[in-house]
Amino acid sequence: MRTTLQPRLVQLTTRSGIEVRRTLPHREIRTIGAWCFLDDYGPNFEPSAMSVAAHPHAGLQTVTWLFEGEVEHRDSLGSVAIIRPGQLNIMTAGKGISHSELSTKDSQALHGVQLWTVLPSADQYAEPTFDHYESLPTFAIGNFDIRLFMGAMNGHDAHTKNFSPLVGAEIKVAASTRQDFELNSNFEYGFLIIEGSLTIDEVVIEAGELHFIDQGVNKITISSLSGSKFLLLGGEPFTEEIIMWWNFIARSHEQIVELREKWNNHSPEFPRFEDRIGGRIPAPALPNMHLSPRGSRR
């Protein structure tokens, strides 16, 4: 199976009014390996483009990757970190954590992606952690310049915290390129085009689109006349059925209800922390239906 997913526009917060382009989860493809959420935002030149007050997560990892700008991360563990392009933030929510994300005053423009990976059921209630990585592998394969930020690829290992076999990389393609690109046939892949356009085996993918390739493929041909930049996301298919609701991933309706109540009732599982905007985002009302786990495909 191969398909190209179109992004949908989603308002990031009512505070900023900024819209992001969301391609995962999608009605056709809900996960690519353990990757289960993908927002692409910017470039945005508003001083407070990223202004997301304290909010919770559970059952997942947040993976933050920037192309331009700076974002300050603060969380209920007491972590404080400024992330810049070429660096990586991974927050393993596990049984529960809360954090805020704020553009810094030094950001002239903000452009990046917010990713999530779903935690396997064995790690769903892991202790929450935060990891910041300033040094990541960079290498070239022909006309491809690659910065690896998750998993392993072509003999390089990012040595970042992950709980499933997966890979994540930012790849720049030189102009007038036509070159074969090897894949792990045990993985399924998504190619998110950030700049320019890319042709994969004669299929043209434009900026903002996410091209999906199912497992079983070990080589593709990539070409670009003007040059391009894209994210490569891949992993072994995630076979567990899950419920994704708001900022939580669980395995049952009851687990979602419990997490929502803990957050809205200021439970000790989500300690308070200080940041420069204050406040916290309340969980929305649950839908008037029983939430049922679903697999990775429609």
The answer to whether residue 183 is domain-embedded is yes
**Does pTM surpass 0.85?**
yes
Residue with tokens 């790690």: 123
The answer to whether residue 195 is domain-embedded is yes
Say which CATH number the domain at 134 has: 2.60.120.10
238 pLDDT higher than 90: yes
pLDDT band at 13 (very low <50, low <70, confident <90, very high): low
- Looking at residue 14, what is its pLDDT? 61
The answer to whether residue 214 is domain-embedded is yes
Strands of 203-205's sheet, edge to edge? 177-182, 219-224, 198-200, 203-205
The answer to whether residue 85 is domain-embedded is yes
* Domain count for the chain: 1
Please give the angle made by the CA atoms of 202, 212 and 156, to the nearest 5 degrees: 95
Task: Tell me the sheet residues that pair with 156.
Answer: 153
46 pLDDT higher than 90: no
The answer to whether residue 296 is domain-embedded is no
Can you give the residue range of the structural domain that contains 122?
A: 2-235
**Could you give the CA distance from residue 235 to residue 188 in angstroms, rounded to a whole number?**
6
The answer to whether residue 288 is domain-embedded is no
Cβ–Cβ under 8 Å, residues 92 and 129: yes
The answer to whether residue 243 is domain-embedded is no
The answer to whether residue 294 is domain-embedded is no
**39-53, 120-134, 176-190, 220-234: range with lowest mean pLDDT:** 39-53
